Protein backbone atom coordinates (compact mmCIF):
# COMPACT_ATOMS: atom_id res chain seq x y z
CA UNK A 1 0.00 0.00 0.00
CA UNK A 2 1.54 3.24 -1.16
CA UNK A 3 0.75 5.85 1.46
CA UNK A 4 2.34 8.75 -0.42
CA UNK A 5 1.68 8.99 -4.14
CA UNK A 6 3.91 11.26 -6.19
CA UNK A 7 3.55 12.52 -9.76
CA UNK A 8 4.84 12.92 -12.36
CA UNK A 9 7.51 10.24 -12.54
CA UNK A 10 9.67 12.48 -14.72
CA UNK A 11 9.54 16.11 -15.77
CA UNK A 12 11.34 18.18 -18.39
CA UNK A 13 11.24 21.96 -17.99
CA UNK A 14 12.87 24.80 -19.90
CA UNK A 15 15.34 27.00 -18.06
CA UNK A 16 13.41 29.79 -16.37
CA UNK A 17 10.18 27.83 -16.28
CA UNK A 18 8.17 26.54 -13.33
CA UNK A 19 8.53 22.94 -12.19
CA UNK A 20 5.57 21.47 -10.33
CA UNK A 21 5.58 18.13 -8.53
CA UNK A 22 2.50 16.81 -6.78
CA UNK A 23 1.98 14.43 -3.88
CA UNK A 24 -1.06 12.95 -2.18
CA UNK A 25 -1.21 11.14 1.13
CA UNK A 26 -3.71 8.89 2.85
CA UNK A 27 -2.93 8.95 6.56
CA UNK A 28 -4.45 12.02 8.22
CA UNK A 29 -2.17 11.46 11.22
CA UNK A 30 0.87 12.64 9.25
CA UNK A 31 2.10 15.91 10.69
CA UNK A 32 5.29 16.69 8.81
CA UNK A 33 5.78 16.88 5.04
CA UNK A 34 9.34 17.34 3.77
CA UNK A 35 10.74 17.43 0.27
CA UNK A 36 14.14 15.93 -0.42
CA UNK A 37 16.47 16.55 -3.34
CA UNK A 38 18.85 13.86 -4.55
CA UNK A 39 21.70 14.19 -7.03
CA UNK A 40 23.17 11.12 -8.74
CA UNK A 41 25.44 9.13 -6.46
CA UNK A 42 24.43 11.10 -3.39
CA UNK A 43 22.04 10.62 -0.53
CA UNK A 44 18.85 12.68 -0.36
CA UNK A 45 19.08 16.08 1.31
CA UNK A 46 16.29 18.10 2.86
CA UNK A 47 15.09 20.87 0.56
CA UNK A 48 12.05 22.35 2.29
CA UNK A 49 9.34 21.11 4.64
CA UNK A 50 5.90 22.09 5.89
CA UNK A 51 3.53 21.25 8.73
CA UNK A 52 -0.23 20.94 8.13
CA UNK A 53 -1.13 24.08 10.06
CA UNK A 54 0.06 26.29 7.18
CA UNK A 55 -1.05 26.30 3.56
CA UNK A 56 2.14 27.56 1.96
CA UNK A 57 5.83 27.86 2.70
CA UNK A 58 8.38 29.60 0.53
CA UNK A 59 12.16 29.43 0.65
CA UNK A 60 13.86 31.23 -2.20
CA UNK A 61 12.71 29.73 -5.48
CA UNK A 62 11.08 26.75 -3.77
CA UNK A 63 7.47 26.80 -2.51
CA UNK A 64 5.36 24.10 -0.90
CA UNK A 65 1.60 24.40 -1.27
CA UNK A 66 -0.45 22.32 1.17
CA UNK A 67 -4.14 21.41 0.93
CA UNK A 68 -5.14 19.62 4.11
CA UNK A 69 -8.74 18.90 3.09
CA UNK A 70 -7.64 17.31 -0.18
CA UNK A 71 -4.67 15.57 1.48
CA UNK A 72 -2.37 16.92 -1.20
CA UNK A 73 0.81 18.96 -1.28
CA UNK A 74 3.04 20.16 -4.07
CA UNK A 75 6.48 21.58 -4.73
CA UNK A 76 6.89 24.52 -7.06
CA UNK A 77 10.33 25.47 -8.35
CA UNK A 78 10.28 28.95 -9.83
CA UNK A 79 12.80 30.09 -12.43
CA UNK A 80 14.06 26.52 -12.80
CA UNK A 81 17.79 26.19 -13.49
CA UNK A 82 19.89 23.37 -14.97
CA UNK A 83 21.45 22.95 -11.52
CA UNK A 84 17.99 21.99 -10.22
CA UNK A 85 18.13 18.82 -12.34
CA UNK A 86 17.82 16.05 -9.76
CA UNK A 87 15.37 13.56 -8.31
CA UNK A 88 12.84 15.00 -5.88
CA UNK A 89 11.04 13.02 -3.21
CA UNK A 90 8.07 14.09 -1.18
CA UNK A 91 7.61 12.44 2.19
CA UNK A 92 5.33 12.34 5.19
CA UNK A 93 5.75 11.32 8.79
CA UNK A 94 3.96 11.28 12.11
CA UNK A 95 5.89 12.63 15.03
CA UNK A 96 9.16 12.08 13.18
CA UNK A 97 8.69 8.32 13.11
CA UNK A 98 8.53 6.12 10.03
CA UNK A 99 8.98 8.71 7.33
CA UNK A 100 7.23 7.43 4.20
CA UNK A 101 8.58 8.59 0.84
CA UNK A 102 6.94 9.04 -2.52
CA UNK A 103 8.34 7.22 -5.55
CA UNK A 104 10.33 10.24 -6.72
CA UNK A 105 10.29 12.63 -9.68
CA UNK A 106 13.26 12.94 -11.98
CA UNK A 107 13.51 16.58 -13.06
CA UNK A 108 15.54 17.72 -16.04
CA UNK A 109 15.90 21.42 -16.73
CA UNK A 110 16.91 22.18 -20.29
CA UNK A 111 19.37 25.01 -20.77
CA UNK B 1 32.33 16.73 10.87
CA UNK B 2 31.69 13.54 8.88
CA UNK B 3 27.89 13.37 9.34
CA UNK B 4 26.52 9.94 8.38
CA UNK B 5 29.11 7.48 7.06
CA UNK B 6 28.19 4.27 5.28
CA UNK B 7 30.53 1.44 4.35
CA UNK B 8 31.09 -0.15 1.96
CA UNK B 9 30.05 2.01 -1.00
CA UNK B 10 29.73 -0.97 -3.32
CA UNK B 11 29.30 -4.69 -2.67
CA UNK B 12 28.59 -7.79 -4.73
CA UNK B 13 27.28 -10.85 -2.92
CA UNK B 14 26.37 -14.34 -4.00
CA UNK B 15 22.93 -15.65 -3.16
CA UNK B 16 22.90 -17.06 0.34
CA UNK B 17 25.87 -15.08 1.62
CA UNK B 18 25.56 -12.87 4.64
CA UNK B 19 26.99 -9.44 5.24
CA UNK B 20 26.68 -6.34 7.37
CA UNK B 21 26.25 -2.82 6.04
CA UNK B 22 27.80 -0.33 8.41
CA UNK B 23 26.38 3.06 9.36
CA UNK B 24 27.92 5.52 11.78
CA UNK B 25 26.98 9.09 12.69
CA UNK B 26 28.97 11.60 14.70
CA UNK B 27 26.16 14.08 15.40
CA UNK B 28 24.90 12.39 18.59
CA UNK B 29 21.54 11.76 16.90
CA UNK B 30 19.08 9.54 18.71
CA UNK B 31 17.03 8.47 15.72
CA UNK B 32 18.54 6.33 12.96
CA UNK B 33 16.97 4.43 10.10
CA UNK B 34 17.72 2.28 7.07
CA UNK B 35 16.08 2.68 3.67
CA UNK B 36 16.39 0.86 0.41
CA UNK B 37 15.97 2.70 -2.87
CA UNK B 38 14.72 0.92 -5.95
CA UNK B 39 13.77 2.44 -9.33
CA UNK B 40 10.19 3.69 -9.32
CA UNK B 41 9.75 2.76 -5.65
CA UNK B 42 11.29 5.70 -3.89
CA UNK B 43 12.85 5.05 -0.50
CA UNK B 44 11.30 2.35 1.63
CA UNK B 45 11.93 2.10 5.34
CA UNK B 46 13.52 -1.17 6.45
CA UNK B 47 14.20 -0.69 10.17
CA UNK B 48 14.61 2.23 12.50
CA UNK B 49 15.88 2.97 15.98
CA UNK B 50 14.89 5.69 18.43
CA UNK B 51 17.89 5.18 20.67
CA UNK B 52 20.50 2.70 21.83
CA UNK B 53 18.91 -0.67 22.52
CA UNK B 54 15.63 0.20 20.79
CA UNK B 55 14.76 -0.87 17.25
CA UNK B 56 11.56 -1.41 15.28
CA UNK B 57 10.43 -2.57 11.87
CA UNK B 58 9.62 -0.37 8.93
CA UNK B 59 7.77 -1.11 5.70
CA UNK B 60 10.04 -3.86 4.33
CA UNK B 61 11.90 -5.56 7.22
CA UNK B 62 11.95 -9.17 5.99
CA UNK B 63 15.44 -10.53 5.37
CA UNK B 64 17.16 -7.82 7.41
CA UNK B 65 18.23 -7.55 11.02
CA UNK B 66 19.44 -4.53 12.98
CA UNK B 67 20.80 -3.75 16.40
CA UNK B 68 21.74 -0.52 18.15
CA UNK B 69 24.31 -1.05 20.87
CA UNK B 70 25.65 2.51 20.74
CA UNK B 71 24.23 5.90 19.78
CA UNK B 72 26.73 6.21 16.94
CA UNK B 73 26.33 2.91 15.09
CA UNK B 74 23.37 1.21 13.43
CA UNK B 75 24.47 -1.79 11.31
CA UNK B 76 22.14 -3.58 8.91
CA UNK B 77 22.60 -7.34 8.53
CA UNK B 78 21.56 -9.45 5.58
CA UNK B 79 21.36 -13.00 6.89
CA UNK B 80 21.03 -14.85 3.58
CA UNK B 81 21.23 -12.53 0.60
CA UNK B 82 18.70 -12.89 -2.21
CA UNK B 83 18.65 -11.26 -5.67
CA UNK B 84 15.55 -9.31 -4.55
CA UNK B 85 17.80 -7.48 -2.10
CA UNK B 86 19.78 -5.91 -4.92
CA UNK B 87 19.30 -2.22 -4.22
CA UNK B 88 20.89 0.98 -3.00
CA UNK B 89 20.78 1.23 0.78
CA UNK B 90 20.72 4.50 2.67
CA UNK B 91 21.21 5.10 6.33
CA UNK B 92 19.77 8.28 7.87
CA UNK B 93 19.83 9.96 11.24
CA UNK B 94 18.00 12.80 12.94
CA UNK B 95 18.52 14.46 16.28
CA UNK B 96 15.39 13.37 18.12
CA UNK B 97 11.89 12.16 17.63
CA UNK B 98 10.25 15.50 16.94
CA UNK B 99 13.14 16.93 15.00
CA UNK B 100 12.73 17.57 11.34
CA UNK B 101 15.70 17.13 9.09
CA UNK B 102 17.06 13.68 8.36
CA UNK B 103 20.69 13.45 7.30
CA UNK B 104 21.48 10.70 4.83
CA UNK B 105 24.66 8.82 4.13
CA UNK B 106 26.07 8.43 0.62
CA UNK B 107 24.53 5.01 0.15
CA UNK B 108 25.71 1.43 -0.39
CA UNK B 109 25.05 -0.12 -3.79
CA UNK B 110 24.49 -3.84 -3.24
CA UNK B 111 24.22 -6.42 -6.00
CA UNK B 112 23.23 -9.99 -5.21
CA UNK B 113 24.00 -12.49 -7.97
What pLDDT is stored for residue B95 in this prediction?
84
Q: Which residues of A touch B89 (CB under 8 A)?
A: none
CA distance B92 to B107: 10
Contact between chains at B101 and A103 (C-beta distance less than 8 A): no
What pLDDT is stored for residue A17 in this prediction?
98
Query: Any idea what DSSP says for residue B13?
Result: E
Contact between chains at A6 and B92 (C-beta distance less than 8 A): no
Number of H helices, E strands in chain A: 0, 11
- For B10, name the nearest residue in chain A, comparing CA atoms only: A41
- A16 pLDDT higher than 90: yes
A69 contacts: CB under 8 Å, gap ≥ 6: none
pLDDT in tens, A46-94: 999 999 999 999 999 999 999 999 999 999 999 999 999 999 999 998 8
* Contact criterion met (CB below 8 Å) for A79 and A48: no
Sort residue B27 into left (φ over 0), alpha (ψ -120 to 50) or beta: alpha
Instruction: Give CA separation, B26 vs A60, B36, B101, in Å.
Output: 30, 22, 15
According to DSSP, the residues that pair with A92 across neighbouring strands are A100
pLDDT in tens, B70-103: 999 999 999 999 999 999 999 999 887 665 678 9
Amino acid sequence: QQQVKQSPQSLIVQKGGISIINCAYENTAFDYFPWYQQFPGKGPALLIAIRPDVSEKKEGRFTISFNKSAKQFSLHIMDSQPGDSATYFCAASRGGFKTIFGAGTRLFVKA
Amino acid sequence: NAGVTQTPKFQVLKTGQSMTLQCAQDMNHEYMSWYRQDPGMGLRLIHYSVGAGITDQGEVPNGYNVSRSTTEDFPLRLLSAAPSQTSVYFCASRRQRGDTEAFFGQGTRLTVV
